[in-house]
Amino acid sequence: MSFGLYSAGFAIVIGGLIYAAHLVHMPTHWIVVCAVVLVGLGILKGVKATRQKDPVR
């Protein structure tokens, strides 16, 4: 799976969660904090899931 595809899917999930938090009237500063944390987790998981294995010598 490519990193771009993984990132696009994770961005859609984050967007949905941000919209849901807005609908339940969560304070904006907490929405931003959660979004930043989720973006960081998405990058870490995306790199881990799509990295190439080192060749065995």
Q: Are the beta carbons of 31 and 22 closer than 8 angstroms?
A: yes
Q: What is the pLDDT of residue 51?
A: 79
Spatial separation of the C-alpha atoms in residues 13 and 50, rounded to whole Å: 18
For the chain, what are the domain ranges?
A: 3-48
Residue 53 pLDDT = 74
pLDDT tens-digit series, residues 8-55: 999 999 999 999 999 999 999 999 999 999 999 999 988 888 877 777
